[in-house]
Amino acid sequence: MRRAALLGAALLGGFVQAAEVSVAVAANFTAPMQKIAARFQQDTGHRAVLAFGSTGRFHAQISNGAPFEVLLAADAATPERLEREGFGVQGSRFTYAVGRLVLWSASPGGVDPQGAVLRSPNLTRLALADPKLAPYGAAAVETLRRLGVIDTLRPRFVQGESIGQAHQFVASGNAQAGFVALSQVQVDGRITSGSAWVVPAELHSPLQQDAVLLLRGRDNPAAQALMRYLRSPAARQIILAHGYSD
């Protein structure tokens, strides 16, 4: 009985110490982060409160006092900038994922495996994220420029603030195809719907995605625990399953 009582007290103490962490998450990382947050709460007792959007928009919000404690960016430059500007904890940055860009259509035959559809006059509406706010949008523009089709396709752009909106434009039929994150359309190595061309990595700058502990989360045990958990085998398994690499 005494042993059971001590165990119960220990468990209760763990839950009393559990805390919440407010996390700004790049839109491309929505699906894996939702799974990671659920596992994080199950394994640690801490709860991650998630907000999804464009990395550029998050930078503006954090700079203006938004109460985020951790940022999972879609690039490496924004976390580094936040550290430099005094909003991030020095030395806390690390790469949690390296993303892949994909040209995707909700239609099974909408995109060919070589991406030749980008040269087709039948492609009249092409979705992408705002390159000024979203690194995946910048990678899409870089890809089109290297392929020599940027001037032809620019009038056909359907532009969303984030990669999440770009995906929504394609999924809803408001664009025939669009540049999205591989993680949005692939699970366990399989495209879940429609058709896609995985853009060769050499056509754009690497999509290195860094996490940073923000000053507001410096003394929050849940924020510190999440930064550690993102490097755990459980989190890595989810991240890799969604098409990211280390």
Average pLDDT score, the chain: 92
Structure tokens at 152: 């032809």
Radius of gyration over every alpha carbon of the chain, rounded to an integer in angstroms? 20
- Mapping DSSP to helix (H, G, I), strand (E, B) and coil, where does residue 169 land? helix
pTM score: 0.85
- For residue 114, count other CB atoms closer than 10 A to its CB: 8
pLDDT 10s digits, 166-224 = 999 999 999 999 999 999 998 777 888 899 999 999 999 999 999 999 999 999 999 99
Are 181 and 127 spatial neighbours (Cβ–Cβ below 8 Å)? no
- For residue 245, count other CB atoms closer than 10 A to its CB: 11
70 - beta bridge partners?
23, 213
| List of domains in the chain | 2-98+207-241 (3.40.190.10), 101-198 (3.40.190.10)
Residue 210 and residue 95: Cα distance in Å, rounded? Answer: 4
Structure tokens at 94: 């690390």
Which residue has tokens 């969303």?
A: 160
pLDDT 10s digits, 33-75 = 999 999 999 999 999 999 999 999 999 999 999 999 999 999 9
pLDDT at 17 over 50: yes
